[in-house]
Amino acid sequence: MPLRLDITDADFEAAFTRLLGMKRESDPDLNEAVAAIIADVRARGDAALIEMTARFDRFEVDAETLRINDAEINAGFETCADDTLSALSEAHKRITDFHQRQVPEDLRYVDDAGVSLGYKWTAVEAAGLYVPGGLAAYPSSLLMNAIPARVAGVERVTMCVPTPDGSLNPLVLAAAKICGINEMYRIGGAQAVAAMAYGTQTINAVYKIVGPGNAFVAAAKRQVYGQVGIDSIAGPSEILVVADAANDPAWIAADLLSQAEHDPVAQAILITDDPEFASAVEAAIDGHLRGLAKADIASASWRDFGAIIVLESLEQAVALVDALAPEHLELATDNAEDMAARIRNAGAIFIGRHTPEAIGDYIAGPNHVLPTARSARFSSGLGVLDFMKRTSLIQCDSASLGRIGPDAVTLARAEGLDAHALSVSIRLN
């Protein structure tokens, strides 16, 4: 049974604190194993990738077949149903349109001292996408990772996807073709991250690696950070729904299960001000589970990590939402717009009764790569700026240096850095 809390209970605060601290992952320490994989790829390059692909994916490759060729990409594209390709194209169009609105402008101005200041934005030169393969293949995630890189102006976008038993998912290939990615390699795991970070004889290194993966991929991203940039270390998916009794319980139940079906350690939480409505949603979840293909996964998630929080008033919800800092937040209330304006911590907010979280996973436009595990308190979802760098611009002439230089000299001498002071003062005379 999911956890059920009532704000009127004497121990509510302690129980809510325990909910905040609930640990949903217990991955073993993979650091040594991953470090060995990375070291092997750095030392032996393609040879290490070939051996690991045979060992982990049960598939024989060589230096020539590490790369997925254009014929394979086109063949995968052609096997997809027309309606699926149409949906992928529409998603690509909408996601692109949204991300194009994130492109920043350069800045240049002259201040009162006559100093020219500003900054310019430039894209990273090469980005690597890690895309899960096999059964857990999500073409929507490829769109969400590739499109902001393309919009940012990344010149080279490469992709690694595992192909267990040699199986290429045609939907992933179709999404890659729609995004204009033609540099793809059939490798996965920590070895793929290492190859993109350090390069091999066949794969050129990139400057930033993004995309979801298993525990080995997450550990590898941690270890290569600094050599390359990374997006984030994503945890299990989560959804928080704030709903009043005016909703159809079956709708809210489906929304909660939409994330629970991802992973047994995903988390779905309902906040409401009506205990009878909470019970109705719980009953609707039981009904939906009987018809879900991934009922085992969803039921384990709901049983072990689900929660229902009953409040006296939904005005009390804002503080709880900010504390939970959910990846996905649905506001299915009469005053959803007003409540959204007052919430500080959430990866994405879905406003109103007709905005299920799943619409954001596929077609709405904003990115679905979002901060998990309460990291929405300090981070944002993936976007165009994640593939860009800001460079400051400073330009003095003799007159403007004369105006601000003496203070720089004073501060440098106060810090005991005489060469700093000299490099300015020598120009003042």
Per the residue annotation, which of 327, 330, 357, 368 is the catalytic one? 327
Q: Which of 92, 262, 328, 368 is catalytic?
A: 328
Specify the pLDDT at position 233: 87
Q: Where are the beta strands (DSSP E) in 124-175?
A: 126-130, 156-160
What 8-state DSSP symbol labels residue 103? Answer: P
Q: What is the pLDDT of residue 258?
A: 97
Compare 322 and 30 and report the one with higher pLDDT.
Answer: 322
Give the CATH class of 236-377. alpha beta
For 398-427, what is each residue's pLDDT tens digit?
A: 999 999 999 999 999 999 999 999 999 999
Asked whether residue 326 carries a pLDDT value surpassing 80, the answer given is: yes
Mean pLDDT of 150-173: 94
Taking each helix axis from N to C terminus, what angle separates 31-44 and 215-224, rounded to the nearest 10 degrees?
60
Examine domains 236-377 and 397-428 and report if their fold is the same.
Answer: no
CATH fold of 397-428 reads 1.20.5
Is the pLDDT at 136 greater than 70? The verdict is no
| Structure-block tokens of residue 381 | 């979802």
Domain layout of the chain by residue ranges: 31-230, 236-377, 397-428
Q: Residues 382, 229: contact at Cβ < 8 Å?
A: no
Helix locations, 168-274, DSSP H: 170-179, 189-198, 215-224, 249-260
* Superfamily of the domain at 31-230: Nitrogenase molybdenum iron protein domain (3.40.50.1980)
Mean of the pLDDT values across residues 290-301? Answer: 96
Q: How far is Cα 267 from Cα 304, in angstroms, rounded to an integer? A: 9
**Which amino acid type is present at position 171?**
L
Contacts of 84 (CB under 8 A, 6+ apart): 171, 174
Q: pLDDT > 70: what percent of the chain? A: 99
Q: Which residues contact 294 (CB under 8 A, 6 or more apart)?
A: 261
The structure's pTM equals: 0.94
Q: Side chain identity at 291, as an amino acid letter?
A: G
Q: Which residue shows structure tokens 């919009």?
A: 151
368 has catalytic annotation: no
- Report yes or no: 59 and 270 within 8 Å, Cβ to Cβ: no
At 134 the pLDDT is 61
- C-alpha 259/C-alpha 239 separation (Å) is 6
Please give the backbone phi and psi of residue 275, each rounded to the nearest 5 degrees, phi first.
-65, -35
pLDDT at residue number 350: 98
Q: What is the mean pLDDT of residues 99-121?
A: 98
- DSSP, collapsed to helix, strand or coil, labels residue 267 as strand
Q: Report the candidate in 229, 227, 216, 230 with the shortest Cα–Cα distance to residue 42.
A: 227
Q: What is the pLDDT of residue 135?
A: 56
- With beta carbons less than 8 A apart as the criterion, state whether 270 and 241 touch: yes
328: annotated active-site residue: yes
CA 14 to chain CA centroid, Å, is: 31
Digit-coded pLDDT (tens) for 253-273: 999 999 999 999 999 999 999
pLDDT digits (tens, 9 = 90+) for 54-91: 999 999 999 999 999 999 999 999 999 999 999 999 99
Q: What tokens does 116 get?
A: 């020219």
